[in-house]
Amino acid sequence: MSRQIEGVKGMRDLLPGEIELWQHVEGLARELFGRFGYGEVRTPMAEDTGLFVRSVGEETDIVGKEMYTFDDKGGRSLSLRPEGTAPAARAYIEHAINNKEPITRWFYMGPMFRYERMKTGRYRQFYQIGAEAYGSKEAAQDAEMMDMVVQFLGALELKDVTLNLNSLGDEACRPAYHAKLVEYLQAHREELCEDCKRRMETNPLRVLDCKNPTCQAVAAAGPNVLEFLCEPCRAHFDDLQRKLTVLGIKYVVNPRMVRGLDYYTRTVFEFIASHPALGTASTVGGGGRYDKMMKGLGGPDVPAVGFAMGLDRLVLLLKESGRTFTSPPDLFVAVADEGSQDAALALASRLRREGLRVDFDTRGGSLKSQMKRADKSGARFTLVLGEAERTSGQAKLKPMAGGDAIPVALDDVAKTLRAARLATAQAGPT
């Protein structure tokens, strides 16, 4: 007996019945991001490994532990993308977009890959919706992007999501903070986990991002990055907070938040959901400003800000809300006799061309079994087609939710179904 092949651990199938939730979220993102002037970009799932080493940071857990990296047949080191910002930046540079327009706004959605410990809403192949804005260094761009996320979460009707905000400073003021942080961490070295002892030497900010409770307690009592901001960084952060207030966006200043990537400067932010379904994995999205990354990748000196949201977690929250987004068939066509199957197939095809959702069991079978299939499909109406209907050109639409059958000419089925759909929509939920 052949061994059954199963899916890769941490990489799952999305099937009808669930995929409609994903399509709903993706559709809302495309529509709303378009209102803000963002165009969709699609980058390859595999990139030169050096892209992530140089942008995300060699000492990050993503690059050091989690990337799916391999040599291709040409001996090149490639990695499946673990995040979307670096590939978008590479595309922006490679296609010289800065020479074509002063401000560029892009969004993306698709799978990312990280070999990490799985928990609620987190997988090794996971999906993100994100956006990047290039060309503006002003706090207004940061605020606009956060406004877009707030409106997106509102369109999804997700509640109890809090915006956390911080500034990491820049190359002018961060060194002083780093020095003070290292001095503090050295004094508490024995309280840190082994990973944080290493991070303390290579990138001390990563200690603040550790999930170990003991390390978190040490970090909480450490120096406050906001107290080290230079005047321009302080003015930028104050301006951002002022603009968020103007937009009516509530936020919490969280000076311990650093995010998990090396490329951020100044603004960083996270949207944190308070929902038991997420357990400890409560961050549904976040991002920040990365004004120096483009130049560091060999591109122009262009400021940028971006964010990404975990689509898996957003869908999980929608599931918990009990809302459904499936679109049941408008009609199920059942066949009363074998001689009517071709006519039924042709009727279903014509109605589909006219924009209706029509289900039809190509296996045929008894009328009783077909009606069971019609009921299971959730179709609004069923039409039984037999010799009598074909001869007379008349049939009946049976409401599956109950009620009297509606006489209808076969040529008028589409018109009658549209009228019934409109009447149902106007009546609203019962």
pLDDT tens figures, 351-407: 999 999 999 999 989 999 999 999 999 999 999 999 999 999 999 999 998 888 999
Q: How many alpha carbons lie under 13 Å from residue 329 in its C-beta half-sphere?
A: 22
The answer on 299 and 419 residing in a single domain is no
Q: Is 267 annotated as a binding residue?
A: no
**pLDDT of 84-105, one tens digit each?**
999 999 999 999 999 999 999 9
The answer on 351 and 409 residing in a single domain is yes
Dihedrals phi, psi of 108, to nearest 5 degrees: -145, 160
- Answer yes or no: is 207 within a domain: no
* Listed ranges 145-149, 399-403, 418-422; the one with the highest mean pLDDT: 145-149
Q: What is the CATH number of the domain that holds 393?
A: 3.40.50.800
Provide the H-helix boundaries in 203-360. Answer: 205-208, 213-220, 231-246, 293-296, 311-321, 341-353
Cα 322 to Cα 14, 284, 316, distances in angstroms:
18, 19, 10
- Answer yes or no: is 27 within a domain: yes
**pLDDT of 52-68, one tens digit each?**
998 887 766 677 778 99
- Answer yes or no: is 337 within a domain: yes
Strand partners, 133: 105, 305
Inform me whether the pLDDT recorded for 114 exceeds 90.
yes
The answer on 410 and 269 residing in a single domain is no
Q: Is 264 annotated as a binding residue?
A: yes
The answer on 391 and 279 residing in a single domain is no
Domain boundary (301, 321, 341) is at 321
| Listed residue (17, 122, 39) closest to 88, CA to CA | 39
Pairwise CA distance, residues 28 & 40, whole Å: 13
Q: Per the structure block, which two tokens stand in for 204?
A: 């001390």
The answer on 306 and 338 residing in a single domain is no
**pLDDT of 3-23, one tens digit each?**
899 999 999 999 998 899 999
Q: Is 263 annotated as a binding residue?
A: yes
How many C-beta neighbours within 10 Å does residue 189 have?
11
The answer on 337 and 317 residing in a single domain is no
The answer on 344 and 278 residing in a single domain is no
The answer on 357 and 297 residing in a single domain is no
Domain coverage including residue 271: 19-173+229-321
- Answer yes or no: is 186 within a domain: no
Q: How many alpha carbons lie under 13 Å from residue 21 in its C-beta half-sphere?
A: 18
For Cα atoms 195, 200, 203, give the angle at the middle one, nearest 5 degrees.
100
- Answer yes or no: is 109 within a domain: yes
The answer on 317 and 363 residing in a single domain is no
Pairwise CA distance, residues 223 & 181, whole Å: 6
Q: Is 426 annotated as a binding residue?
A: no
Q: What does the pLDDT average to over 119-125?
A: 80
Inform me whether the pLDDT recorded for 43 exceeds 90.
yes
The answer on 271 and 154 residing in a single domain is yes
Inform me whether the pLDDT recorded for 427 exceeds 60.
no
> Residue 430: which pLDDT band, with cuts at 50, 70 and 90?
very low
The mean pLDDT of the chain is 90
- Answer yes or no: is 297 within a domain: yes
> Residue 117: which pLDDT band, with cuts at 50, 70 and 90?
confident
Residue 66 or residue 421, greater confidence: 66
How many domains are there within the chain? 2
Q: What is the CATH number of the domain that holds 291?
A: 3.30.930.10
Q: Is 132 annotated as a binding residue?
A: yes
- Answer yes or no: is 299 within a domain: yes
- Identify the pLDDT of residue 208: 82
The answer on 67 and 23 residing in a single domain is yes
Q: What does the pLDDT average to over 282-292?
A: 92
Beta strands in 149-299 (DSSP E): 161-167, 252-253, 267-273, 283-289
Domain boundary (269, 297, 321) is at 321
Domain boundary (321, 352, 371) is at 321
- Answer yes or no: is 211 within a domain: no
The answer on 376 and 304 residing in a single domain is no
Q: How many alpha carbons lie under 13 Å from residue 11 in its C-beta half-sphere?
A: 10
Strand partners, 395: 408
- Kindly tell me the sign of the dihedral angle through the C-alpha atoms of 247, 250, 256, 258: negative
pLDDT above 90 covers what percent of the chain? Answer: 68
> Residue 260: which pLDDT band, with cuts at 50, 70 and 90?
low
DSSP 384: E
**pLDDT of 225-249, one tens digit each?**
999 999 999 999 999 999 999 999 9
| Listed residue (379, 417, 377, 378) closest to 396, CA to CA | 417
Q: Is 259 annotated as a binding residue?
A: yes
* Listed ranges 22-26, 325-329, 398-402; the one with the highest mean pLDDT: 22-26
Q: Is 85 annotated as a binding residue?
A: yes
Residue 279 or residue 321, greater confidence: 321
Inform me whether the pLDDT recorded for 141 exceeds 90.
yes
